[in-house]
Structure 1
Amino acid sequence: MVVLVFLGLSLFAGFMLANQNPINADMKKVVGSPFISAAISFLIGSIFLGILSAIMSHRVFPSGSFISSNPAWIWLGGVLGAVYLTSNVLLFPRLGAIQTVILPILGQILMGTIIDTFGWFGTAQTPLTLMRVIGLIVLIAGVVVAVVLPNVLNKDVEAMDKAIQESETKPVLLGWQIWAIFTGTLSAMQQAINGHLGALLQAPAQGSFISFFVGFILITIVALMVDKRLPKVSELKQAKSWNWLGGILGGLFVFASVLSVPKIGAGLTITMGLIGQIVGSMLVQQFGWWRSAKASVNGIQILGVVVMAVGVVFIKFL
């Protein structure tokens, strides 16, 4: 029963992240920069998680004794999250829609499996059994069916991706493809590290805040370096009230991951989060939420999600 609760929590976290993406994309149109939009989102998420931490644990920042008595890598979650977010902005114009989505997902699944198998970052060690291997293969097949196949069948997307990739030399393209997979591994490591930090602090909300706050500092530095400006008040006044929700949804995603990783492991937390993201993205497109373009959900996408769920059953319950 406890396992099901945290599987559901991870699924919900992925759904929150799927809604955050179009909200931040709309904010990008308002402020004219993906980096400034991300910095605003991180700021709001940090404030939200800071308040949550103060309410739940009566503290926000860790003590000096805690900092000095723990390894430096436990603070890397926010750094990896900022690198992952920045990389996603850079990948699309170089790889196209399909590879920008699928390659990081493969990196997440691969690293999540490695983390659980060897017990890295303080997670419980889970043997790589035959059923887990079968489950992973089924899971990846589901991702391909749900994410890749609909885009391949869309001739406009396929033509756009082909044109983008032909503009790069093969060595450069290969480099970006490798980087895309690597950014996925960073995302998986981030979730595992954040989960361990929350467990060490015995305060998941505080661990989530620290990760988000570090990410805010780094993405703000990147925004200032790239755009060399702060958002204008006139720009911010044009934002819709829901444009400010992106940071809160991102904060909820991190908080749910911090709660789930110590209970069900990094691999399953990441997997259920991915299913939640895909289902959430399908609903966002179906109903055109957050001023996103409408696109009807088709049977292939639903089949892919079902196949992914079957993979989870093999990984956890067989």
Structure 2
Amino acid sequence: MTSPSRLPVLAGLPLAVGSGLAIPVQGRINGALGARLGDGIAAAVVSFSTGLLVMILISLLLPRGRAGLARIIPAVRERAFPRIYVLAGGIGALFVFAQTFTVGILGVALFTVATVTGQTVSGLLVDRLGLGPAGRKSVTGIRIIGCILTIAAVGWAVSPRFAASSPGTEADGGAAALLLPLLLPVVAGFLMSFQQAMNGTATVHYGTPIAATLVNFIAGCLVLWTVLGIKVAVAGPGNPLPGEWWYYLGGPMGCVFIGLGALLVRTLGVLVTGLGMIAGQLLGSLALDVFLPVP
């Protein structure tokens, strides 16, 4: 087994921030696609399917990708890591579905705070349990303070948008009407740290994050296509696919932060990787609001 080399922390943190920049862009694209199709499940399927196509091409064209492909089945057969780790893509599928289904209900502000809260809390837990390739990391006062400050900073940064994020909630029952939609991104954010730990551990045994990302998209597609098949059988298909090319960039954006996340957790740990991505997510969200505001 050839393990991927560890990145220096000073190089890993900027990469974590950079990968986080892709998350709000993906959210904007997937949210728009969900509205266009009138179906959050179908939009999530499109996003994951395009990401899978990208990863298949990368895996076949790059030597490291082909080497990683050759290690997937032996690693799973030999139980180099718990076999349930190959299902990490199901968590990614839940996150993408949460984007497409709840952003239109909650708005970007509440969605961001909900996912950041879940991800930050679970980052502490996953590191404490030692589920990631970096091993166990103690829950210190500094790490707890960092989590609290991160959640507070994100909440403060998006607070001006709270009022505009949830139109019509008073008529629909106020805050109570947001409770169930709010739980979905909280749970999706909470599970993201587990996904990063699972993908990071698999990356060590595959020798490359390319293979881990490919397996992630395969598992996510299996989940989403199954759910979509049930939905179509019950309620029928939604709107036809749009012709504009940019609607299909959500999947490639997912390749970026899933692949980098799988690589970085070995060096930075799950919590610090998550906090770096959160910083990038916040910067990306602010940049979108300034340069490409929603009409």
TM-score (norm 1): 0.78
Query: Is 1:10–2:11 an aligned residue pair?
Result: no
**Structure 2: runs of 5 or more not aligned:** 1-6
AA aligned to 1:104 is T
Alignment of 1:102 onto 2:110: no
Once the two structures are superposed, what CA deviation does each residue of 1:55-79 show, in whole Å capped at 9, x if it has no partner? 1231537554322222222112101
Say whether the 8 Å CA contact 1:96–1:161 is kept in structure 2: no
Deviation of 1:276 (Å): 0.9
1:252 matches 2:256 = yes
Deviation at 1:35, TM superposition (A): 1.6
Once the two structures are superposed, what CA deviation does each residue of 1:201-230 show, in whole Å capped at 9, x if it has no partner?
A: 112101011001110121122222224456
Alpha-carbon distance, 1:159 to partner:
5.8
Query: In structure 2, what is the equivalent of residue 315 of structure 1?
Result: none
Any conservation in 2 of the 1:95–1:164 contact (CA below 8 Å)?
Answer: no
Report Cα offsets for 1:57-107 as digits up to 9, x if no partner. Answer: 315375543222222221121012222333455555776665443223211
Residue identity opposite 1:47 in structure 2: L
CA 1:163–1:6: 2 relative to 1, 3 Å: farther
| 1:272 and 2:272 are equivalent in the alignment | no
Inter-partner Cα distance in structure 2 for 1:72 and 1:128: 27
Deviations 1:159-213 (A, max 9, x none): 63444453858xxx76665554333211111111111111121121010110011
Shift of 1:158: 5.8
Task: Tell me what 2:38 maps to.
Answer: 32
C-alpha contact (below 8 Å) 1:98/1:161 kept by paired residues: no
Whole-angstrom CA distance in 2 between matches of 1:50 and 1:78 = 15
1:136-151 alignment to 2 at 5 Å?
136-147=147-158, 149-151=159-161
84-93 or 118-127, which deviates more: 84-93
Q: Which residue of 1 aligns with 2:208?
A: 203
Give distance in 2, aligned partners of 1:159 and 1:65: 52
State the 1:33 CA deviation. 2.0
Deviation by residue 1:8-54 (Cα, 9 ceiling, x = unmatched): 11111111121112222233344332221221111111111122223
CA distance in 2, matches of 1:191, 1:11: 15
Distance in 2 (alpha carbons) for counterparts of 1:44 and 1:176: 26
Identity %, equivalent residues: 24
Structure 1 residues 116-127: aligned runs within 5 Å: 116-127=127-138
Paired position in structure 2 for 1:192: 197
> 1:69 and 2:74 equivalent?
no
Judge conservation of contact 2:133–2:204 (CA < 8 Å) in 1.
no
State how many pairs are aligned.
282
Matched letter for residue 57 of structure 1: G
Unmatched 5+ stretches in structure 1: 295-318
CA distance in structure 1 between the aligned counterparts of 2:33 and 2:275, rounded to whole angstroms: 28
Structure 1 CA distance for aligned equivalents of residues 14 and 121 of structure 2: 22
2:52 pairs with 13, 24, 46, which one? 46
Give the Cα–Cα distance (whole angstroms) in 1 for the partners of residues 232 and 290 of structure 2.
34
C-alpha distance in 1 between matches for 2:229 and 2:190:
27
Shift in CA distance, 176/28, structure 1 to aligned 2, threshold 3 Å: closer
Asked if structure 2 preserves the Cα contact closer than 8 Å seen for 1:78 and 1:211, the reply is yes
Query: CA 1:164–1:213 in structure 2 vs 1: closer, same or farther (change >3 Å)?
Result: farther
RMSD: 2.7
Task: Give the distance between the partners of 1:102 and 1:29, measured in 2 at CA.
Answer: 22
